[in-house]
């Protein structure tokens, strides 16, 4: 499971670091120490739902995440189908999450980097909605701005739910995780592709 984000305290509690927060939550839940440096990432190895897992937080910065993901898959001798990518999604409303078996990057530069480096879109992912429900003039600035204090309790619940989704995906597969966690986002007329 690779959570996307940016290294450094400056970015710790920003929307772009939701993937890191989910990796940290899973590590805490399952007693996995994420301190080993491997494949340009902080990595922890342990067990979730009776499965051996590698939790990783690429340290290459978001837009270059693909190099770390490719290096990690190679180091662990894993195919892309064994990757679970977790990341923020500005096109989804805040607090909504989507489990997908495959798909395009949808304009997310971190995901574009991963797809470019591993050469496929055929990997499970969990997209975490961060759209605030009001117009966002500068998306890059928005994703790198710390969460407001009023959002932190919701953030904790959202990260818990995302970690739950990863656990179900690992234990029961992507189809069961999709059935359990995917719901039509408020404000969308139809389920997105």
Residues with active-site annotation: 16
Token reading at 81: 């189908």
| Distance from C-alpha of 150 to C-alpha of 123, rounded to nearest angstrom | 34
Order of all β-strands in the sheet with 36-38: 36-38, 41-48, 51-58, 2-3, 85-93, 125-131, 97-100
Residue 163: name the closest of 16, 51, 1 by CA: 1
| Distance from C-alpha of 120 to C-alpha of 125, rounded to nearest angstrom | 13
Burial class of 8 by CB neighbour count within 10 A (0 to 12, 13 to 18, 19+): exposed
């Amino acid at each position: 499971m690779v959570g996307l984000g940016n290294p450094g305290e400056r970015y710790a509690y920003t929307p772009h670091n939701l993937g890191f927060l989910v990796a940290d939550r899973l590590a805490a839940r399952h007693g996995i120490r994420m301190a080993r440096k491997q494949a340009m990432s902080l990595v922890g190895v342990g067990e979730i739902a009776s499965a051996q897992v590698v939790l990783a937080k690429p340290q290459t910065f978001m837009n270059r995440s693909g190099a770390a993901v490719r290096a990690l898959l190679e180091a662990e001798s894993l195919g892309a189908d064994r990757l679970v990518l977790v990341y923020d999604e500005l096109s989804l409303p805040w607090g909504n999450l989507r489990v997908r078996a495959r798909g395009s990057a949808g304009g997310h530069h971190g995901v574009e980097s991963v797809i470019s480096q591993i050469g496929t879109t055929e990997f499970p992912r969990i997209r975490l909605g961060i759209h605030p429900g009001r117009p966002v003039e500068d998306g890059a600035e928005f994703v790198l701005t710390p969460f407001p204090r009023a959002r932190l309790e919701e953030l904790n619940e959202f990260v818990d739910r995302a970690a739950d989704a990863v656990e179900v995906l690992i234990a029961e597969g992507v189809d069961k995780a999709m059935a359990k966690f995917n719901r039509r986002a408020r404000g969308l007329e139809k389920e997105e592709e």
